[in-house]
Amino acid sequence: MGEVMNPYSNAAHAASIPQEGNPRETEAWALTEAARRMASASRGEPEGMREALRLNWKLWTIFQADLIGKVEAGESSETVVNMLSLCQFVDFHTVASLTEPDAAKLEVLVNINRNIASGLRDSLAREAREAAAAAGVDPAAAAPAPAGAYAPAPGAAHTPISATA
């Protein structure tokens, strides 16, 4: 039924929620959180998978609405167009996953979320290094990982969620 929550884990999770003011960091956190929930749900019952899928779908619907607004405002960069295509894929894949949920289908969405979140965090780190370099500060000291960053341990192999189910 429900997942037993560790109070220490909950405190660490709450501390990872990004502060207001940086939309890309918030988006990266939301994608990572949705990926975490789908990965966890993939080891459980179909209804838990559906709940995690619906949350992820809502998140991607928000992204899609924002991107459509950018296109309507005249911004049709390659990144915007590619993200809209990815939103469409996530829509179709989510519908298929909701009708017949399984770990392999969720893994596709988990990987998409983690990769997009990683790209957002990389761009934030790059901007921090560039700003530090422009200000004459050591760039290596200026770009800590954002709160809640997903990063496998150095040298650790990525284990697909289907392998842990």
Domain segments of the chain: what residues? Answer: 22-135
| pLDDT of res. 6 | 53
Sign of the four-CA dihedral 158, 159, 162, 165: negative
CB crowding 94-118: b at 16 or more within 10 Å, else e: beebeeebebebbbbbbebbbebbb
According to DSSP, residue 141 is labeled G
Span 104-154, pLDDT tens digits: 999 999 999 999 999 999 998 888 888 888 888 776 665 555 555 444 444
pLDDT (0 to 100) of residue 32: 98
Confidence of residue 21 (pLDDT cuts 50, 70, 90): confident
Q: Residue 68: is its pLDDT beyond 90? A: yes
Q: Would you list the DSSP string of 86-139?
A: HHHHHHHHHHHHHHS--HHHHHHHHHHHHHHHHHHHHHHHHHHHHHHHHHTS-G
Q: Of 13, 60, 8, which Cα lies nearest the Cα of 40? A: 13
Residue 162: which residues within 8 A CB-CB, separation 6 or more?
Answer: 42, 103, 104, 107
| Reported pTM | 0.73
CATH topology of domain 22-135: Four Helix Bundle (Hemerythrin (Met), subunit A) (1.20.120)
